[in-house]
């Protein structure tokens, strides 16, 4: 075994390394699976969610039913119990080594790199990526908005701490408040059935993404996707579109769903293990022994 990639699959790693070595620009896609190696919970399926939050199983509440803005109106302690716990969890989580490898690759790129993620955890920024390089398709837990839409816009959650009962996962007052009008605040995250999400920050990120993609040269792009499943296919579809439009071979790292469109490279592994193997092979592709040059 090679750190999670079998010797039989070593050629897959070499193909991925060659694609990255020949690129001048890097597009990184990341779904929830990217954070699993950092110790973040895997919400795949009801049981995965309830293992992380057993109190909600007793109430019959799933991830999709909790990730709904209605709770900020009907039961704000429940709403902020869920999001407050995640806020503190993400703040104290150290990004795994795979993030540093992606950052190293990004810094080598002549025309730069950009990240497109459905994750709201801020892990790429915590790993050292410039916030201007990151597109957070579903918003970010490190930013808040007013539930009353008072006009304050989006504001950072710096200094906001939520006291959560670890048994019930309910928040204890005082709850986060809008700095302008004093009403209840909520995360600037796109939830299910969410018609109140303030998308301005993400729209600006998308504008930067459009500019970036418009400046890259076809055939000179590497698209690396990590931990993006098909249940919520936002990232998978984005990476497939970019690969198709730029002539890149999509590199899809996913232990459960590595299937790729024709011409793609599927790596059936977790992100940290796969990126480490590809990085080792990439060094060889960038700096081959003298006798092979």
DSSP state of 118: -
Query: Is residue 118 domain-resident?
Result: yes
CATH number at residue 230: 3.40.50.1220
Q: Give the pLDDT mean for 247-273.
A: 95
Q: How far is CA 74 from the centre of its chain?
A: 29
Q: What pLDDT digit, counting tens, does each position of 157-212 carry?
A: 999 999 999 999 999 999 999 999 999 999 999 999 999 999 999 999 999 999 99
Q: Is the pLDDT of residue 82 over 50?
A: yes
Query: Is residue 293 domain-resident?
Result: no
Query: Is residue 2 domain-resident?
Result: no
Query: Is residue 107 domain-resident?
Result: yes
User: In degrees rounded to 5, what are phi and psi of residue 274?
Assistant: -65, -45
Q: What pLDDT digit, counting tens, does each position of 18-74 carry?
A: 999 999 999 999 999 999 999 998 776 667 788 889 999 999 999 999 999 999 999
pLDDT at 51: 86
The domain in which residue 282 lies consists of 7-287
Q: Give the pLDDT mean for 85-96.
A: 97
Q: Is the pLDDT of residue 10 over 90?
A: no
Domain count, the chain: 1
In terms of DSSP H, where are the helices of the chain?
10-21, 45-52, 54-59, 63-66, 71-74, 76-92, 97-108, 123-126, 200-215, 234-246, 271-286
Structure-token pair, residue 230: 């098909």
Query: Is residue 292 domain-resident?
Result: no
The span from the CA of 265 to the CA of 13, in Å, is: 9
Query: Is residue 149 domain-resident?
Result: yes
Query: Is residue 1 domain-resident?
Result: no
Q: Is the pLDDT of residue 8 over 50?
A: no
pLDDT at 288: 63
First to last CA, the chain: 28
């Amino acid at each position: 075994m090679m750190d999670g990639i079998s010797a039989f699959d070593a050629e897959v790693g070499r193909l991925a390394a060659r694609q990255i070595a020949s690129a001048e620009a890097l597009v990184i896609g990341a779904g929830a699976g990217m954070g699993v190696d950092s110790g973040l919970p895997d919400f795949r399926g009801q049981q995965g969610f309830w293992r992380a939050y057993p109190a909600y199983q007793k109430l019959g509440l799933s991830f999709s039913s909790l990730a709904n803005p209605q709770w900020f109106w009907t039961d704000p302690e429940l709403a902020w119990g869920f999001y407050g716990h995640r806020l503190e969890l993400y703040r104290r989580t150290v990004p795994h080594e795979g993030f540093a490898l992606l950052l190293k690759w990004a810094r080598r790129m002549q025309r730069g790199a950009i990240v497109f993620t459905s994750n709201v955890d801020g892990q790429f920024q915590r790993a050292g990526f410039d916030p201007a390089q990151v597109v957070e398709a579903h918003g970010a837990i490190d930013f808040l908005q007013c539930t009353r839409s008072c006009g304050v816009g989006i504001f950072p959650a710096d200094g906001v701490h939520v006291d959560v009962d670890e048994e019930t996962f309910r928040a204890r007052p005082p709850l986060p408040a809008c700095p302008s009008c004093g009403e209840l605040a909520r995360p600037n995250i796109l939830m299910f059935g969410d018609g109140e999400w303030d998308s301005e920050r993400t729209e600006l990120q998308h504008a930067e993404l459009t500019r970036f993609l418009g400046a890259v040269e076809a055939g000179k792009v590497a698209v690396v996707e990590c931990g993006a499943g098909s249940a919520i296919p936002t990232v998978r579809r984005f990476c497939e579109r970019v690969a198709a439009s730029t002539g890149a071979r999509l590199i899809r790292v996913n232990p459960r769903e590595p299937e790729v469109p024709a011409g793609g490279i599927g790596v059936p592994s977790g992100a940290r293990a796969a990126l480490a193997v590809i990085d080792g092979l990439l060094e060889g592709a960038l700096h081959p022994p003298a006798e092979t040059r």
